[in-house]
Structure 1
């Protein structure tokens, strides 16, 4: 997992006039760029594109519910929308913890596809690509999103707004209703969680090579080759949400994962293909059945070995994959 550099997401996506200090003209009438920036913030806060879009829609609804004089009195509509969107996300994060206590199996953030394939997969079909709305950089890797899930809602908001999107702690304080000093402590605590997750600095090309070798060994049901590509302490986690068959408990250990994946290959239905696709900006794999993506596999690679595999089979989290 690569730690996001400060401002990486904001700089790559929003442009110089899309930040919270932009002038009055950078408000809701500035076009789709403003909405895209807000969805970028909300997705990183929530780990769900559908929930992110709902949060942004709610912020716009509140904006247009204001009287024209009240809207004209807002010095920076962009800052106002960012604050309201973040507060909506904060509320969602609070309720999400209760909802996930009743979630069937493990909960994994919603994976995002990218139009281009990093390997020899089928070129993407037409349709709305979530990559058009979310910048696929290191701050949306599944590895980081999973770490964000371990944070308190306040830590997550402070980290995403300050460390990823370069908002000041005074701006973060306005969202959280705390002092800037308290927000600084929250971001520092979140940063320690990221560091403790042992971020990987493995280059993208090397990651892709390891994932490709894993795919070939998997399709060949070569258990020895699979074990060689998996870290002895690797873990595999699956999310079916009770809507798709998968393993409920995480699989621990490279050897156990190798045997499990060989069994998956053995039971592969006729017509199912494994394709190399980018998952949240990183090399991943998908299983496609009759033109529909039924499983997404994301990987964390350290050096020449895979340390973690995330398997998403919940069809509600894969709707964008078939469209893309």
Structure 2
């Protein structure tokens, strides 16, 4: 496979059973093969996407001392700002060449759960930043729920299996800024090769190329998508839950050619996390004599904390 497949969510949400089944088959097979798709027909409008990029650029243009005032100690970077070079890929000592912001869940109708999540951080200097960020969060979360419904049917589960775990889940919207490269990176890249922690990741179109995924043959494939498409990939939680049936593919963001070092890059992924209590024990539907269970039992919360420590975000 030399490129990621394209699918259309409007097939799934149509009233046509054949179109719905076509989408389920296409996305399921793509996630077994390479773990990535380009998806159109989602709920994020071009206008909202453009507005968020405008707000994100305005925030990252702020002086460093202002941005750093929004960095919150003791929460593993789950909300607010994380400064340049603080996050590194699992097993890599060099920090990635990026800084980022985290928007998190605004819990509805569950005060007990609400108390367990850090509060979102309000940016005073960019008045619409939080409003537009959370509008985008909700549209991407809605899209993620429909994608997971299709995957539930592909696996052999009830269509709405994931809904109760993702509604009010610990999902994160992460605007990322990769500044111009000032000098020889010395082994660091914009984002070192890694798998995502979560169930699925939804990526809004990045402002510059650089994202690559690794296929089954070990080849790196540049990811390209049309402006109206989201790139959506399987994360480690879903791979674990499905006993490796669906693939969390290793991916990276490479540095640009030297002549483009002065160009910044912006990217906005939405990491779909369930509530912490969700079991990630391998599903019985994905365990067979030829594919025995390969993972120990664990909850989503335990797995997330384990990985945040590996990334250097939790001590």
TM-score bracket, normalised by the shorter chain, equals: under 0.3
For normalisation by structure 1, the TM-score amounts to: 0.25
For normalisation by structure 2, the TM-score amounts to: 0.26
Larger radius of gyration: 1
The structure that is helix-richer by fraction is: 1
